[in-house]
Structures are given as C-alpha cells and as structure tokens.
Amino acid sequence: MWGQNKKPRQTAHIDSLIGQNTEIHGDIIFSGGLHVDGTIKGSVIAQTGEDSVLTLSERGTIEGEVKVPNVVINGSVIGDVHATGHVELAAQARIHGNVYYSLIEMAMGAEVNGKLMHQSEKGTVTETSAEEVTAEEA
C-alpha cells in the first residue's frame, strides 16, 4: 500500500542460539542471526561487512557492549547498544546505557536509562535525551 513505512528486511534465520539456562563469560563475535535467551557477560559484536541480526528475548540478558547492525531487544542490556541499521525495542526491553541508532522503533513499555544518540549515514551523532522521546514518537 502507498505511504506505508517499510521496515528494513531482517532475516528470521538463526545461525546461533544461546539457551535460557546458559551463561557465557566473554565476548561473542558472530555473523548472521544470533538469538539469546540466556545470559552473556561480555560484548556482543557482529563481524564487519555482515548484515547480522541480534535478537534478545525477554528471558535474555547482556552485560556488556552490543555492536550489531540490526537489533531486536525484549530483554535486558547493561551497556551501550550500537546499531548502524535498525533497533527495535519491544515492550519488555530494559537498557541501562546509551543507544546509538540510525533507525529506532520503540514499543510502549520499553525503557532506556541512558541517552538516545542518532547516527546519520555520514557518521555524525545527534543526542536526544530519553525524556524527549515517547513510545508514540519513536
């Protein structure tokens, strides 16, 4: 239909899964799709040149920095989130850190305890305080 916003194409393909009863200490570097139901204590980084997707379920927790092009968060992140593509914050999302994004979508109930920093294609960063963005605007 005309005038509808199109979301970036995200793959539903999961290459790696971290289960609910799994806890990993250390950094994870991946490509493709990563789904996290468990706990990661370390950074989660996508290989450069890949159009990777990180999906963090409501049962998942990441304590460290996230650097992935496309991110879908419904769990807890303690650390900064860097996404060059699309960030989707579902209703259960809790982020304690800054979010660096190009395109962001927030459901009502999502929580960011930090700054929202818009990155343009040129690499410039524009700061937006969390108080300035409501779930309806994002």
What is the mean pLDDT of the segment spanning 40-69?
95
User: How many structural domains is the chain composed of?
Assistant: 1
Is 59 within the bounds of a domain? yes
Dihedral, CA of residue 133, residue 9, residue 14 and residue 24, to nearest 10: -30
Q: Which residue has the higher pLDDT, 9 or 80?
A: 80
pLDDT in the model for residue 63 = 98
**Residue type, position 2, single letter:** W
Whether 49 is covered by a domain: the verdict is yes
138: in domain:
no
* 1, part of any domain: no
What confidence score (pLDDT) does residue 25 get? Answer: 98
Range of the domain at 96: 16-132
Q: What is the DSSP letter of 132?
A: G
Q: Is the pLDDT of residue 129 over 60?
A: no
Would you say residue 7 lies in a domain? no
Contact present, 44 and 66 (Cβ < 8 Å): yes
Residue 108 in any domain: the answer is: yes
Q: What is the pLDDT of residue 9?
A: 47
pLDDT > 50? residue 10: no
29 has a pLDDT exceeding 70: yes
In a domain, 6, yes or no: no
- Residue 4, in any domain of the structure: no
> pTM for the whole thing?
0.80
Residue 101: phi and psi, rounded to 5, are -140, 160
